[in-house]
Amino acid sequence: MLHPLPDDLLKLPHRREVPFARLTTLGVGGVCHWLFEPTTEAEASQFVRTCHREGLEFRVLGGGSNLVVLGDVTAPVLRLRLPFAVECHGTEMTAPASHGHIALAEAAAQAGLSGLEWASGIPGSLGGAIRMNAGAYGHEWVQVLIRYRFLTPEGELIEKAPEPGEFQYRKSWFGREHVVLSATASLVEGDPARIRAQVAEYRGRRGTSQPLSKRNAGCIFKNPPGASAGRLIDAAGLKGMRVGDAEVSVEHGNFLVNLGHARAEDFAELMAQVRDQVRATHGVELEPEVEIWR
């Protein structure tokens, strides 16, 4: 049931009844009943403070590239719409959390700064990448992150340097109601031609190994210690397995793709079947890398 929201919340920029199919790269899910899109940090802070005051739970959405939504969401959803602005001070680069992740990696490359080449094929927002400690090819955000700003669930703004243990493999210490506002990376000056060549090489690898022409949410499961989830799924003979229009990609076993008309329940069922079969074949328990919203 939908509860009425307080007037001061409704004064903030928002939209109603937005299908998650339009908010996520996988293209499934129910309806987002309340989508709040603050365009300033002050509005974001007001949103969080008001929700806290009213005891309202909320969710934070970035680019929706690591998300499987399994139904309607009645809780208010916050998606930052801060102006795109990248600041460079020497080799330090700061951007708002809503900045496109790929665009940020490109901005670094254009500025002749090295350290984010690996990020150039990871979609979504900077905020989502910090929250997930996104990474690829042996690199991850925590290696370059030197400062970040965020709102606590009570709406307090904090700026700090990362501390040991805060960011681990595809996870961070943030709870569901922390909101990353911006992040600063420490990069190094590099030869622009070499940076571009490295970006092209990483992109090329993705192009040949990932099903980029179909809707997906990246790797569905985390790699278990010392193993590759994709190889385990492949060795269990699961590539091409389908539930409705949800399919284990034939190109990459750890990608589930939407062949066109998949429903959220199809992905939930396919994920369950993949986990069961990998457990039965290899005795390994796969843990989702994607966030699941129920």
Ligand X SMILES: Cc1cc2nc3c(=O)[nH]c(=O)nc-3n(C[C@H](O)[C@H](O)[C@H](O)COP(=O)(O)OP(=O)(O)OC[C@H]3O[C@@H](n4cnc5c(N)ncnc54)[C@H](O)[C@@H]3O)c2cc1C
Residue ranges in contact with ligand X by CB under 6 A: 25, 60-67, 80, 97, 101, 122-125, 127-129, 131-132, 134-136, 170, 174, 178-180, 210, 212, 216-218, 291
Residue 58's nearest CA partner among 124, 9, 126 is 9
Least distance to ligand X from the beta carbon of 199, Å?
Answer: 14
**Residue 178 vs 279, nearer CB to ligand X:** 178
**Residue 29 vs 190, nearer CB to ligand X:** 29
Taking the mean position of all CA atoms in its chain, how far away is CA 145?
16
Least distance to ligand X from the beta carbon of 121, Å?
Answer: 6
**Residue 129 vs 246, nearer CB to ligand X:** 129
Least distance to ligand X from the beta carbon of 27, Å?
Answer: 11
Least distance to ligand X from the beta carbon of 75, Å?
Answer: 12
**Residue 146 vs 212, nearer CB to ligand X:** 212
Residue 13: DSSP 8-state: -
**Residue 182 vs 277, nearer CB to ligand X:** 182
Least distance to ligand X from the beta carbon of 255, Å?
Answer: 8
